[in-house]
Amino acid sequence: MVLQRHLWLARLAVLICAGAWGSEPDDDLLTQQQALEQCLKQSVVHNTPDTTIAQLRDSCQALINNGEKSNLHSLDIGVLDTRLKVENISRANRFILTPNNRNFILPANYIHHPNAEPFAQSTGNPVQLQNTEVEFQISLKVLIAQDLLHDNGNLYLAYTNHSHWQAYNGNLSRPFRETNHEPELLFSATSGWQLLGFRNVLNQVGLVHQSNGQSGTLSRSWNRIRLRSVVERGNLALSFSPWYRIPESTDSDDNPDIEDYLGRYELSAAYAYDNHIIDVTTRRLFSSRGSLEVGWSFPLRPTMRGYLKYFNGYGASLIDYNVKIESLGLGVVFTDLF
């Protein structure tokens, strides 16, 4: 919301300048400069004293450019780099929780064959799950230390909640079929090396715990050390995320074969075009136990975007890690990839 407010203020500054001249200004550089000055004034109010003027200027310029849908190629600034610069405006504000992964809700998520077997085993009775349910995700991060590598390297505490809710299943009292909790201690550093026109803009290492908070036969959990490296070229971003599972004792391991289905890495690609974003994510590529997720987000309103998501494979959730699921969901995303 604060970012939207900054963007609104920047646009308002442009409109005020236009009104002062009695018509639309001919000099775009003049209006951009005045919008930049307005954004800087607001940013100074909402940031801590250790945020530099250069950081605020870069963030505001990226925000204004993004709001005007400028050509990212001509600006020599990538889509993820734009997001990182915009985050600089709010990350030092203690009243703001910064998005980590996507935040979305799919009121209509259709599953071809919902997995009822774990619940039938747990209760000893057949369970009738509905094909259509609500899927949503809340993902946030809080800056707890910054500039650990001179003027680079930030440490975050992140949390992601990914839920599948049988909201239309009145016969079962509308239960949450599955909720995955993922707290993470995340170290993130920017970079600038280039290869074949692609620029490495972000590298991360995280200590990740993921579980569904259940007990008995429904319990699923694992711990990982996860790396992530992102390269981009203009509107295209590519991500490679390998991980190492921290071993558990045989007695406490709820899912010893989880790597046979979720693998040891994740590959993602995202492309932005005319305010639309297409993204693809896969695990265990070329394997019969892999997964494929395809998303499309599109503009609706300033504070939200439409979101269509297709999933096919294993690992749609922890309770379904070893069951193949096919689903198609439609809803809205509140904070996107970039």
Residue 300: count of CB within 10 angstroms of its CB: 12
Q: From residue 315, how far is each of 108, 259, 291 by CA, in Å?
A: 20, 10, 7
Helix axes 2-21, 79-90, angle to 10 degrees: 90
User: Strand pairing partners for 225?
Assistant: 207, 244
Six-digit token pair at 267? 């590959």
Catalytic residue selected from 209, 219, 229, 287: 209
Would residue 209 show up in a list of annotated catalytic residues for this protein? yes
Catalytic residue selected from 70, 122, 211, 219: 211
CA dist., res. 238 & res. 201, Å (int)? 10
CA dist., res. 206 & res. 155, Å (int)? 10
CA angle centred on 107, ends 102 and 113, rounded to 5°: 100
Residue type, 320: D
CB burial string 215-254: b at 16+ within 10 A, e below: eeebebbbebebebbbbbbbbbbbbebebeeeeeeeeeeb
User: Strand pairing partners for 329?
Assistant: 109, 309
Residues with a known catalytic role: 209, 211
